[in-house]
Structure 1
Amino acid sequence: MAPLPNYRPKQLSLGPLESEILNIIWKLGCVSVKDVHESILADPDRELAYASVTTVLHRLTKKGWLECHKQGRAFYWRPTVTKQQAQAIEAHEQLHKFLAVGNLEIVAAFADNLDAASVEQLRAIAQKIDAVRQAREKK
């Protein structure tokens, strides 16, 4: 089981354009504003100002999703976490929100309404957790 990354962005919530641009960066790697702008404009039905891309890149940097460095006269951005790490962080946050309900009756009622495949998946997760904890105790 892969652990959660040590680093977490300062702010997890993202708007639709921020998410779109972050997905482009995960696909391309280290990018300039021009790279992102051209990727978005590859869709002939899309319009987006170059300055808007720059604004979103700066916003993602402030939120902790990107790092920025200057090379020559150009600025380049790269993600601080991988897409898989971001998904793990998001799943962890959602699980904590769900468990924070604190009312066992609500959680039990939710679990009671799951289909058989979901219940089996929960059992598999519980077994994996037990195996990881046992392996950790043996160390």
Structure 2
Amino acid sequence: MPRRPSRRPLGQLEAEVLAALAGLGGSARTAELVERLDGEPAYTTVNTILHRLHEKGLVSRTRAGRHYHYRLAVDESELVAGRMRDHLRHASDPVSVLNRFVRTLSSEEARHLREMLEGPGDRG
């Protein structure tokens, strides 16, 4: 019996679709997103995710013939930062979570983080 590929959690696939949409300049059709995503998700799966993201107000869509053209309705960095805050807020030990996260950063990411923490103002 052939082994089925492991499924990603829906939240992860939603995040990947949003990241792919941002990578395509914030605007794309479902078929373009399917090509951009790892693991070759089905067109219908990506379409369902886009429908859910539209219902959540994270993407907007306009009719383009028989299909929709999707556009980011939120700033990607704001969205990801919000998810990070939510995860920290629900952690029993947020300091340990932050510590583990920082240890996974590349040297370039760590340098950027140090600059942001030491420098004045919002750079984001």
TM-score range, shorter chain: 0.5 to 0.7
- Aligned twin of 1:33: 30
Partner SS state of residue 31, structure 1? strand
Structure 1 residue ranges without an equivalent (≥5): 1-13, 115-120, 132-139
Question: How many residues get paired?
Answer: 98
Q: Output the CA distance in 1 between the equivalents of 2:74 and 2:68.
A: 19
Greater displacement, 84-93 / 55-64? 84-93
Structure 2 match to 1:61: 54
Question: Which residue identity lines up with residue 70 of structure 2 in the other structure?
Answer: W
Q: Structure 1 length normalisation: TM-score?
A: 0.52
Poorly superposed stretches of 4+, deviation over 2 Å: 71-74, 87-98
Gaps of at least 5 residues in structure 2 are 1-9, 100-112
**Equivalent residue number for residue 19 of structure 1:** 15
Query: 2:34, 2:40 within 8 Å by CA — same for their partners in 1?
Result: no
Q: Normalising by structure 2, what TM-score?
A: 0.57
Equivalent residues in 2 for 1:68-83 (5 A)? 68-83=61-76
Q: 1:48 aligns with which of 41, 57, 64?
A: 41
Asked which structure has the greater RCO (Cα within 8 Å, sep 6+), the reply is 1
Question: 2:85 and 2:11 mapped to 1: Cα distance?
Answer: 20
The structural deviation recorded for 1:96 is: 6.0
Mapped partners of 1:33, 1:27: distance in 2: 14
Alpha carbons of structure 1 residues 51 and 87: separation in structure 2 relative to 1, 3 Å:
closer
Q: CA deviation at 1:74?
A: 2.5
Identity %: 29
Aligned equivalents of 1:16, 1:37: Cα separation in 2: 15
